[in-house]
């Protein structure tokens, strides 16, 4: 009798313990570990991505399915794959995050793929855009773009618009190689000729000599990919100083060259530049207006660019997953929701391809124009729901 009593008491206390544990669990926030370039030459990447993420939370509240959402932001500095990997390990082991996110630069994203896989952490790329990244882990997805996706349509556009000879100039790392290959493929398939190609350093580049070589070759146009921000400003300065515009050599590029974060600093040299990309602050939609207003409520001094949209949409995806899982996280169920997910983004409709878990989206052809005194990428043509052609090529 005595023994029975003891057992039942233990059972009661176990039940009590279990319910305390589940209350504690319900009260625990969902943690999103963001690894981003917050300092150094690429600091605007981190600023844009994290402000975009915060803008989503400001607009939609910080609680989903009864769970608070908490951002844990870690600075990776510049291109530093070892640091990125260490930060991911710490976020997983010490902070026990539910998601990993961020990554402006490709090497920082690639370094984290093995950790995403081993720890089964849904990992959302907010910018890094080399095609191969999402093939490196079944737990990685991307809400930004791939370079082949945004570049391929430009090769077609260039030939259709009378450009016959092009010199390609790209940053000497993954996204640059992807952009170079995709441009060559679509432009030569249309009938165009590549008359020269050069790869330029990612860090501390002096663009002058490269731009001079382009000028000496006298192509109809230069196709350029450099990372957004300081690199783009530097390239545009060299293009102007060496007189390429005056020599009649057109500049065509991915939208990284004329991103909204720096476009006003490019000045009149940028007017008339044609680019292809997935986001422009000038995109006319209610979703984009709401995004710009939410961003301005946090940072009224900067214009949001495509990286900010990546941060915003990463949070939209995370909120949708947490809502559908009713606040109970499970990595495999999360990835099942992410594959095939559809969102109405500030850039237009987006979808995560169920097969590749990479992004499918509209690509827009744009021209830099002055609107009310300020420079904007004005969209004038849309190629609907483009999949990453880089995945097709590597099959």
The least CB distance from residue 43 to ligand PHB, in Å, is 13
Nearest in space to 319 (alpha carbons), one of 56, 64, 52: 64
Q: For residue 197, with 0-12 CB atoms within 10 Å meaning exposed, 13-18 middle and 19 or more buried, which class applies?
A: middle
Helix, strand, or coil here: 150? helix
**Residue span binding ligand PHB (CB under 6 A) among the ranges 122-130, 149-157, 180-188, 324-332:** 122-130
Task: For strands 140-142 and 123-125, give the pairing.
Answer: parallel
- 58-97 residues in contact with ligand PHB (CB under 6 A) are none
**Please, which residue, 130 or 280, has the CB nearer to ligand PHB?**
130
| DSSP-assigned states of every residue in 214-233 | HHHH--SEEEEE--TTHHHH
Q: Which is nearer to ligand PHB, 227 or 390 (CB)?
A: 227
Query: Which residues inside 136-175 make contact with ligand PHB, applying CB under 6 A?
Result: 175
Minimum Å gap between C-beta 365 and ligand PHB is 18
Secondary structure, 3-state, 45-97: HHHHHHHHHHHHHHHHCCEECCEEEEEEEEECCCCCHHHHHHHHHHHHHCCCC
How many helices and strands in the chain, by DSSP H and E?
A: 14, 15
Write out the DSSP string of 340-354: T-EEEETTEEEEE-T
Among 123, 130, 131, 356, binds ligand PHB (CB under 6 A): 130
Locus of tokens 């990463």: 314
**Nearest approach, Cβ of 134 to ligand PHB (angstroms)?**
12
Using the rule CB under 6 A, which residue among 84, 106, 360, 377 binds ligand PHB?
Answer: 106
Applying CB under 6 A, does 124 fall inside the site for ligand PHB? Answer: no
Question: CA-CA distance, 388 to 57, in Å (whole number)?
Answer: 29
Site string for ligand PHB, 219-258 (x = CB under 6 A): --------xx---------------------------x--
Q: Is 119 in the site for ligand PHB (CB under 6 A)?
A: no
105 lines the binding site for ligand PHB (CB under 6 A): yes
Nearer to ligand PHB, 64 or 100 (CB): 100
List the one residue from 111, 128, 244, 325 that touches ligand PHB (CB under 6 A).
128
Q: Which stretch binds ligand PHB (CB under 6 A): 7-15, 98-106, 310-318, 370-378?
A: 98-106
């Amino acid at each position: 009798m005595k023994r029975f009593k003891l057992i039942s008491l233990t059972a009661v206390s176990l039940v009590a313990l279990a319910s305390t544990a589940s209350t504690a669990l319900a009260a625990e926030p969902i943690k999103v570990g963001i690894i981003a370039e917050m300092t150094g030459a690429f600091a605007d990447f981190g600023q844009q991505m994290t402000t975009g993420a915060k803008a989503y939370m400001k607009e939609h509240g910080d609680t989903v399915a009864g769970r608070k959402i908490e951002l844990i932001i870690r600075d990776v500095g510049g291109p530093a794959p070892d640091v990125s990997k260490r930060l991911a390990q710490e976020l997983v082991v010490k902070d026990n995050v539910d998601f990993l996110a961020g990554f402006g630069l490709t090497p920082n994203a690639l370094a984290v793929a093995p950790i995403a896989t081993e720890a089964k952490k849904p990992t959302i790329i907010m910018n890094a855009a080399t095609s191969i990244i999402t093939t490196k882990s079944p737990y990685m997805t991307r809400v930004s773009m791939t370079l082949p996706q945004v570049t391929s349509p430009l090769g077609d556009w260039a030939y259709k618009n009378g450009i016959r000879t092009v010199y390609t100039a790209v940053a000497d790392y993954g996204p640059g190689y992807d952009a170079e290959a995709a441009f060559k493929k679509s432009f030569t398939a249309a009938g165009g000729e590549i008359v020269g190609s050069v790869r330029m350093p990612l860090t501390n580049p002096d663009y002058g000599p490269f731009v001079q070589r382009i000028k000496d070759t006298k192509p109809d146009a230069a196709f350029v990919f450099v990372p957004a921000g300081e690199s783009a400003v530097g390239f545009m300065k060299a293009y102007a100083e060496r007189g390429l515009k005056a020599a009649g050599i057109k500049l065509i590029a991915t939208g990284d060259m004329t991103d909204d974060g720096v476009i006003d600093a490019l000045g009149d040299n940028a007017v008339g530049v044609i680019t292809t990309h997935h986001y422009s602050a000038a995109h006319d939609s209610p979703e984009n207006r709401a995004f710009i207003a939410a961003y301005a409520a946090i940072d009224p001094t900067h214009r949001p660019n495509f990286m900010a949209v990546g941060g915003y949409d990463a949070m939209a995806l995370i909120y949708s997953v947490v809502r559908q899982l009713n606040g109970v996280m499970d990595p495999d169920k999360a990835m099942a929701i992410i594959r095939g997910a559809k969102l109405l983004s500030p850039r237009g409709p987006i979808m995560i391809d169920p097969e590749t878990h990479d992004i499918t989206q509209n690509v827009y052809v744009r021209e830099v124009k002055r609107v009310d005194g300020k420079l904007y990428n004005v969209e004038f043509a849309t190629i609907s729901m483009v999949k990453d052609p880089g995945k097709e090529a590597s099959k």
